[in-house]
């Protein structure tokens, strides 16, 4: 239901939905990987937001690729690359914190 609401843009704060989707962890990573190749730049940015919060190992290469190559501007004015860079830092912090415990 969260996924559908985000995709259909029924919620003006879809980035909150992206964070909630990340709470499901590894089971959603495959769908998020697919979303990073979507033609819609907003979906790619939302996938970055979710990926960073999952800190899943499979997310890191996708975030690195988007951070380097996806210079599309979202409808809110940010760059997909910037969203990817921010979430890449978040993912690294989460992974470092988990490794130290």
What 3-state class would DSSP assign to 79? strand
Q: Say which residue, 65 or 43, is predicted with more confidence.
A: 65
User: 84 pLDDT band (50/70/90 cuts)?
Assistant: very high
Largest Cα–Cα distance of the chain, in whole Å?
Answer: 39
Residue that wins the pLDDT comparison between 7 and 95: 95
Q: Whose structure tokens read 């190749």?
A: 37
Q: At residue 91, does pLDDT exceed 90?
A: no
**Predicted TM-score (pTM) of this structure:** 0.79
41, pLDDT greater than 80: yes
> Which residues partner with 79 through β-bridges?
73
């Amino acid at each position: 239901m969260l996924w559908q609401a985000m995709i259909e843009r029924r919620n003006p704060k879809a980035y909150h939905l992206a964070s909630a989707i990340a709470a499901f962890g590894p089971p959603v990573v495959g769908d998020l990987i697919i979303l990073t190749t979507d033609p819609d730049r907003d979906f790619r940015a939302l996938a970055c937001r979710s990926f960073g919060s999952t800190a899943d190992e499979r997310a890191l290469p996708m975030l690195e690729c988007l951070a380097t190559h996806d210079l599309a501007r979202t409808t809110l004015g940010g760059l997909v690359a910037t969203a990817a860079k921010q979430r890449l830092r978040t993912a690294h912090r989460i992974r470092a914190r988990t490794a130290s415990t």
